[in-house]
């Protein structure tokens, strides 16, 4: 048994949350940091380390709820866009080692949250990289 992380404690009702959705496998609640208004987390109730190590059936259920929350953000919360984000491992910014998907409503460009996608393709051997990934899927 692993030591309970903060999301396991939320699932078990030991820590409160602003709950948005719950079923047997999935829980959704507001992220305490509210990067933007309505910022939500969708998690698996069972403990898995992250997106990459979660069984597909559970991952699909979590993504289904993330999609539904994103749709509500656009329809009813006034968001003009939504970012769906799942950080995997600390190198990618994962701080809670329990599978979760961020649903981040976007109201104005740059408001509270920014992803900068730089073009770093120069010098990379794209055919070799594509081949390595493709051959191992």
Q: Which of the residues are catalytic?
A: 100
Q: Pick between residue 18 and residue 130 the one whose CB is nearest to ligand AMP.
A: 18
Burial of 127: CB neighbours in 10 Å, binned 0-12, 13-18, 19+: exposed
Pick the closest to residue 20 from 56, 66, 53, 57 (CA basis). 66
Using CB under 6 A as the binding rule, whether residue 91 contacts ligand AMP is answered as no
Separation CA 128–CA 100 (nearest Å): 32
Q: Are 36 and 104 in contact (CB under 8 A)?
A: yes
Strand, helix or coil at 39? coil
Among 4, 5, 25, 31, binds ligand AMP (CB under 6 A): 31
By CB under 6 A, name the one of 4, 5, 6, 72 that touches ligand AMP. Answer: 6
Q: Using CB under 6 A, which of 19, 21, 23, 32 touches ligand AMP?
A: 32
Query: Rounded CA gap, 16 and 115, in Å?
Result: 30
Q: Is 87 in the site for ligand AMP (CB under 6 A)?
A: yes
Q: Which residue is nearest to ligand AMP (CB)?
A: 33
Q: Output 6 or 77, the one with its CB closest to ligand AMP.
A: 6
Q: Which residues bind ligand AMP (CB under 6 A)?
A: 6, 15, 17, 31-33, 41, 87, 93-96
């Amino acid at each position: 048994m692993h030591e309970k992380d903060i999301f396991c404690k939320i699932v078990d009702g030991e820590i409160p949350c602003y709950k948005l959705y719950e079923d047997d496998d999935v829980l959704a609640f507001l992220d305490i940091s509210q990067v933007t208004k309505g910022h939500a987390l969708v998690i698996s109730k069972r403990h898995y380390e992250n997106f990459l190590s979660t069984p597909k059936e559970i991952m699909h259920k979590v993504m289904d709820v993330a999609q539904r929350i994103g749709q509500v953000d656009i329809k009813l919360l006034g968001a003009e866009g939504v970012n769906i984000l799942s950080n995997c491992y600390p190198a990618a910014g994962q701080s809670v080692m329990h599978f979760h998907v961020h649903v981040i409503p976007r109201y104005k460009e740059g408001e509270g949250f920014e992803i900068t996608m730089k073009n770093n393709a120069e010098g990379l051997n794209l055919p070799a990289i594509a081949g390595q990934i493709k051959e191992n899927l």
